[in-house]
Chains A and B, each alone.
Chain A
């Protein structure tokens, strides 16, 4: 029964998605409830305006911040279900509008980083596996150790110093042109790539020793075909798993790089919102990024089925 084969996992994913969404709304709501302070002091410009405690409380009442928690949650959930996270307390503009303006920058950075990571991983991982035990392998291992050890912000500053300050070939910050994407992408990619390189190298070495590879070689199949059709494919599953997870975490994890390079992405937006206690933005950030990570993991799950048909078959058997 083929429809049942697909409907059951689809139903599971939808149920998981809905459940995860509600968990996210509760978490994001509780985080804000438990966090100290609110945006009222910022809104009243307490740094430059002499306000009284009475004025602070009056504004809290007006914004409903003193209402019981359940009332605030119901109000919050009602808005979220309509895709309305309210207005940013600091800008007066739609929270979703603020996020949608910032998301392209982070997506660009995350996408470019993943592309560079994939290139570096395949080139260096492939070379290390191919020249196992050689100077090349050791060189790649040294690169991995250095990349994993160097703090991203420090690497970012070094890159700025070299390419912007000394060589004047790339801008020191901002993304006014595509050139602005180069240094943050390189900084992030160098920090992120090492585990993938290691995983691919080890997987390739492991796969190259498997029986089906030896059998193919014995049949006289060329090395490039063995690599493309057998070794590489067999090595991709662990890599795709970790790459998928990383893409999700990259969406929320580019904060330091975004701040260092002045990139107006969601990470920077969230940090600024935290500093200003603009909790609507923070709640939307948690839910949107959380759901994005859920969808990415779902796609990773689907990609297993494409890479390894036995997973689909097992699922079908269980169904």
Chain B
């Protein structure tokens, strides 16, 4: 080819300059974001990035807790983030003699964001709407009939005796909104109201100056979601976010080292555990309490907390660990190879030279795990390594969707994660996992003792007595080694040091994360 001519070089330079100009002009657009960040005219603006994006603006259908977290909506019943006790929110009080016919008194002097008054009829319409469009909430509330008896009195009749109604009114989709409003934005009663809300990008909320419980300190909140933990970390490092929820475990050291960022961790409300299969091909083994205790003894919980979770968790021995109203006192648990062998021997298995056999044959079991929670495959590996020391082979199967895989019933033990401490009550976990036909009872465990205890729990209306019954069940599950409860992963958040009043919730499902008390310098 001939030598290049200056004209070509000039053309190339022009193209490059155009690209640079485009880049600069686009980047100047980000000035808009900066101005939102800093706030125009001294406005206090907070940018919050949570994890799960909303799929819709409909507060009754949204799959994530985005709308509840935003501080724009409220429920009849709230839950205290520190004690996990339900408290009166939009309902001033509630009463029932038989746990089936309920009378709720609606708080007076509250208006929706569109100015309409909150009264019993508005609450009835909201509840009626949510149970019509959301089968999950319908299943949670079990409402047979709901009526506005007068301006501020709501009557609810449940399908049967159902003391868990009050707890389930805390559900993220059971929030009270004005369902007569024709707009797309959720019209709630919270300290902030939606100015705009695009589920695909972000929501902008502004202070509700007519809020019934005092004025919010912030003028505006820009709330977005990004399921990518790296993206969330980069957002707070770049100054695009003031608060991020749930940074990845690997990023905690990096963020903690940043002098402008505070990282906060609190024990969460879910428990990682091993769920045993009581109806699979090795059902005989799993129905033997000593065998279960042997498997439990193989698990070094502290090693999981330190090695797998980088310290971001606490050990658990039952489904309700911690100091919550229904948390039992943990029993003494010994772990290690020797302890496990004692239990295996007591289970009727042969132990020779520290190795376990059954009918002179080595044992091979199948562990199923999944990667949606990255720690679980690592816990499965720890189990496999510990079991190998006593001669038990554990084949690990990684499932794409654990809830669908377990329907095949082709597993012996699964690593699993469930919310156990939910809405201030053990009802979700106990009934979902051990109730008649419970959808989370993947191990298909049944026991008449447990059924009797669960029936008593389900019919107990008094909250203190109910907590005691939940404790009894949790203790029984621990003593009988019905599944092996291992660790409680921490819930974490990272926020700018300019932010005050932020409280990391124990889960993302039950709390308004943006509150009137949050402030930013």
Contact = CB atoms under 8 A, between A and B. Distances in A.
Interface of A: 36-37, 41-56, 59, 88, 90-93, 101-102, 105, 119, 123, 126-127, 129-132, 157, 160-161, 163-165, 168-179, 181-182, 205, 208, 223-224, 259-262, 264, 272, 276
Contact of B27 (A44, A88, A126, A182): A182
Contacts of A36: 401, 404-405
Contacts of B422: 48
Contact of A264 (B200, B235, B438, B439): B200
A49 B401 CA distance: 18
Given A48-B419, A101-B200, A165 B237 contact: yes
Contacts of B432: 46, 49-51
Contact of A48 (B27, B227, B237, B509): B509
A105 B438 contact: no
Contacts of A182: 23, 26-27
Question: Which among A43, A176, A223 has the greatest number of chain B C-beta atoms within 10 A?
Answer: A176
Contacts of B385: none
A44 B136 contact: yes
Given A48-B428, A172-B234, A208 B201 contact: no
Contact of A173 (B8, B137, B240, B435): B240
B226 interface: yes
Interface in B4-38: 4-5, 7-8, 12, 15-16, 19, 23, 26-30, 32-33
Contacts of A53: 437-439
Contacts of A127: 12
Interface centre among B23, B139, B403 (most CB of A within 10 A): B139
A223 B3 CA distance: 10
16 contacts: A44-B135, A49-B171, A50-B429, A52-B439, A90-B63, A92-B133, A123-B16, A157-B234, A165-B238, A170-B26, A171-B33, A176-B202, A177-B30, A179-B27, A179-B33, A276-B63
Interface string B407-441: 00000000000010010000111111001111110
A52 B201 contact: no
A72 to B, nearest CB: 19
A28 B33 CA distance: 40
Tell me which of B28, B234, B419, B509 has the highest count of chain A C-beta atoms within 10 A of its own C-beta. Answer: B234
B240 A171 contact: yes
Contacts of B140: 45, 48-50
Which residue of B63, B137, B198, B403 has the most chain A CB atoms within 10 A of its CB atom?
B63
A169 B27 contact: yes
Contacts of B452: none
B29 A37 contact: no
Contacts of B5: 223
A55 B231 contact: no
Contacts of A101: 200
Contacts of A262: 224, 226, 228, 231
B27 A37 contact: no
Contacts of B509: 48
Interface of B: 1-2, 4-5, 7-8, 12, 15-16, 19, 23, 26-30, 32-33, 53, 55-56, 58, 61, 63, 133-137, 139-140, 168, 171-173, 198-202, 224, 226-228, 230-231, 234-235, 237-240, 401, 403-405, 419, 422, 427-432, 435-440, 509
Contacts of B437: 52-54
A47 B237 CA distance: 32
A127 B202 CA distance: 43
A284 to B, nearest CB: 15
A260 B237 CA distance: 16
Given A43-B136, A59-B135, A157-B230, A50 B438 contact: yes
Contacts of B228: 259-260, 262
B63 A44 contact: no
B72 to A, nearest CB: 18
A52 B173 CA distance: 19
Nearest to A48: B509
A123 B15 contact: yes
B26 to A, nearest CB: 5
Contacts of A164: 234, 238, 240
Nearest to B57: A91
